[in-house]
Each structure stands twice: as C-alpha cells, then as structure tokens.
Amino acid sequence: MNGSRTVAIVNKAENLMAKEAYYVIYFNLKALYILPLATSYLFSLEITKIYGVYVQHIIDEINTLPALLGNLYVEQEEKLFYVLASRSLYGLGYKFGLTVFMENMRVHGSFIETSEFRHGPCEMLERTKPVMVFLVGADESRQMS
C-alpha cells in the first residue's frame, strides 16, 4: 500500500496474509491467540526502542510471564484465578483470565477490568482468597491498578 511495509504474524506459510506481507513472522504452534498477541507487544516494544525510548525493562518482564504463570498454576491448582488489567494490557489480561487459565489450564479463571473490581467482585474477598494476577501498566492506569 503506497510503499508501506507490512508485517504479518501467522501460524503457517500458506496463510494469505503471509503471501501479501512484506515481512512475515511465523510461529507455527497451536497457540492461536497468545503467541500473536505476545509477538505484537514485543514487536511494538522493539519499534519503540528504535525511537530511543527505554523499554527493555518491559520486554524483560514479558519474558518472565511464562515461568511465573506456570509456577503460580502449580502452587494454586484448585483455586480461583482473577486477572485484573486495563488500557494497553486489557487484551493480555482477557487472554490470560479466560483463555490461558480457564480454557487451557482448566482452572477457574476470570478477567476483570481493573477499575471494575471495586464495584462488587472485591466483596467476595471476605469469603474466598482467589489467586490475583495484576497486570500493571506504566501509564495513567497504574495508580488504579
């Protein structure tokens, strides 16, 4: 498109997007949501680095998520998992709460937008002690988180 270079994040080489894109990132796994999402975050952060913004600490933190969440699962297998996130982390929070925890790991999981937690769900803390996963951004949503 008018000299623009496009990037496609695809599972298989025969994907139509892969054939049309200038650059292609293949992930060749069945994780159809989390890998493209993580790749998008990391790709955006790498572009941000090119413009001189220090984001390496964010990249490092993203790279700790698989081990951190794996350990959390082993330790808390029978519990309810709540993931709270907002703004730029909303998609990742949704993914972990409803897909990674509930669908893939087969534990009771839920996602709540951070500012909505105080409107009712926090009342259940009197009766139960769920596992709470907070994805805390570096923007103005940080204070609420």
Structural domain includes residue 55? yes
Q: How many domains does the chain have?
A: 1
Give pLDDT, residue 50: 93
Structural domain includes residue 1? no
CA angle 87/139/44 to nearest 5° reads: 70
Structural domain includes residue 140? no
Three-state DSSP at 105 gives coil
Nearest to 13 by CA among 21, 2, 5: 21
Question: How far, in Å, CA of 61 to CA of 46, rounded?
Answer: 14
For 127, the domain range is 31-134
Q: What is the pLDDT of residues 51-105, one digit of tens each?
A: 999 999 988 988 888 788 778 767 766 677 788 888 888 888 888 887 777 766 6
Q: What is the pLDDT of residues 3-61, one digit of tens each?
A: 778 888 888 878 888 888 888 888 777 666 677 778 888 888 988 999 999 999 988 98
The model's pTM:
0.47
Structural domain includes residue 19? no
Residues 145/134, Cβ–Cβ less than 8 Å:
yes
Structural domain includes residue 24? no
Structural domain includes residue 105? yes
Structural domain includes residue 107? yes
Q: What is the pLDDT of residues 105-131, one digit of tens each?
A: 666 777 777 777 776 666 667 777 777
Nearest to 65 by CA among 106, 95, 26, 32: 95
Structural domain includes residue 143? no
Can you list the pairs that 118-125 forms with residues at least 24 positions away whose Cβ atoms lie under 8 Å? 121/82
